[in-house]
Every structure is written in structure tokens, then in C-alpha cells.
Copies of this chain bind each other. A is one copy, B any other.
Amino acid sequence: MIVLLTDFGVADPYVGQVHLRLAEAAPAVRVVDLFHGLPSFAVQASAYLVDAYCQRLPPRAVVMAVVDPGVGGLRQAIAWRAGGRCYVGPDNGLFEMVARREGVESCQALAVPEHAAPSFHGRDVFAPAAAALARGLALNAQEAPLTRFPDWPDEWARVLFIDHYGNAVTGLKAHPSRHEIEVADRRLRRARTFSEGPRGEPFFYENANGLIEIAAYEASAAGILGLRLADPLRVLG
């Protein structure tokens, strides 16, 4: 199985071109579009989201993840392994939080073919590599280290993503001991699920991926609170 996480969006022609390439190179392999709404240009924020969404993947899944403002520049294209799975994408920190949790068993730098479009390694470099790995084939690649980002915190106290309901996913883990947060000058208390709160009153809860998420029952928490990507928050207790 190949699992895709990108910032390509779903309205543009980029995911489709990746699917075409995968269908040609690995016709028998299932491809799952896990998430194409990673925040554009925001590699660090995306690193926490990629880690959250990759925690329960099937064994032997091949993950292709792309948030890659430096595509075609100096950063390497890589494929690396941990816990029986492979990860393919840019070596720009996007995999830092997965690597911190899983460890890194091996890593290779991918050769970039001459015909590859400098603006679309997703189609011309990462998809062929993901297809080869999913089929158990060797890569055109040589051993290289995964670049690490030790200064990034284990949790990031920021809004990473706002979904279409207006719920705001953060980079903080929803430890059971956390009962109150502060965001946008408001104190929010914890609830178990949406319908526990009064309609239109923001709260936070442990989302289905283990993160603190800000929501409101039948209303847009982001709208009520004026939240935007990268807004900070703070655990009060």
C-alpha cells in the first residue's frame, strides 16, 4: 500500500498526475489519499501532522509525503525506513517527528533523473521511488543520512491545521492531565466530544489522532475565536 500525504490540495491537477505515475509503475498496489491539505510552505507544522496521521498505518506501508517549497533546489530527495515501513519525500524536516518516534533504520538519497521537472519531484522522483519500494524493488539511490532538526520541540504549541468545520488541530498532545488551555486570550476547558459542550461554546478535546483540538458544538471554533494557522496556545493545567 502507498499512502499519500501532501500539500498538493485536491482541486489542482497534482494528485492526479501522481496517481497516473503510480498506476503505471505499480498497477497492482493500492494507493490511499490520506491527506492532501498539509499547510503549504509550512514544513515544520506539517512534520507534526505527518507524525500524527502515520501512527497507525498498516505494516509495510510506503508513505510518500510532500511539503517541499525547496523542490528542485539543494535539499535531497530521500527514502528511509523504520518499523517495517518506508518513507519517501524531501529531506527538509518533514519526517523529523516520525523519525524521532520511530527511529531511523536506514536512509538513501534518491537520484534525480535528468528529465525530472524541477518543480514536481512528487511526480517525477518520489512517485517512482514509492512505486518501486511498494513492489519490493531496489532504488536508484545511495546511503545517506537523514537530516535531523534537533531544535524542534517534541510538541508544538501552535495551531497546525483548521478543518472545514472550523476545528483547529494543534501540535500539543492531549495528555489526560491537561484540563485547561489558553488560546486567543480565552481559557478553554476539556470535553470528551462535541455534543458535551453548550452549542457554540469553544472547548478542547483529544482528537482521534491524540492531539489537542479546539472545537465548538455545531459551530466553527476558529470563526468564534478568530484562529489562524500558526496561532500559539498554552497549557494552563
Chain A: how many interface residues by the 8 Å CB criterion? 56
Do residues A16 and B35 form an inter-chain contact, with CB atoms below 8 A?
A: yes
Do residues B24 and A27 form an inter-chain contact, with CB atoms below 8 A?
A: no
Q: Considering the complex, give the chain B residue whose CB is closest to the CB of A16.
A: B34
Do residues B20 and A34 form an inter-chain contact, with CB atoms below 8 A?
A: yes
Q: Considering the complex, give the chain B residue whose CB is closest to the CB of A8.
A: B164
Do residues A71 and B9 form an inter-chain contact, with CB atoms below 8 A?
A: no
Do residues B69 and A218 form an inter-chain contact, with CB atoms below 8 A?
A: yes
A193 close to chain B: CB less than 8 A: yes
A138 close to chain B: CB less than 8 A: no
A37 close to chain B: CB less than 8 A: yes
Partner of A217, one of B19, B69, B206: B69
Partner of A13, one of B14, B20, B53, B118: B53
Do residues B23 and A195 form an inter-chain contact, with CB atoms below 8 A?
A: no
The docked-state distance in angstroms from the alpha carbon of A10 to that of B164 is 9
Given A20-B57, A119-B194, A165 and B40 contact (CB-CB distance below 8 Å): yes
Partner of A118, one of B16, B19, B71, B193: B193
The docked-state distance in angstroms from the alpha carbon of A105 to that of B88 is 41
Do residues B30 and A13 form an inter-chain contact, with CB atoms below 8 A?
A: no
* Distance to closest chain B CB from A12 (angstroms): 4
With a cutoff of 8 Å between Cβ atoms, the chain B residues found around residue A164 in the complex are 9, 11-12, 40
The docked-state distance in angstroms from the alpha carbon of A34 to that of B123 is 13
Q: Considering the complex, give the chain B residue whose CB is closest to the CB of A38.
A: B13
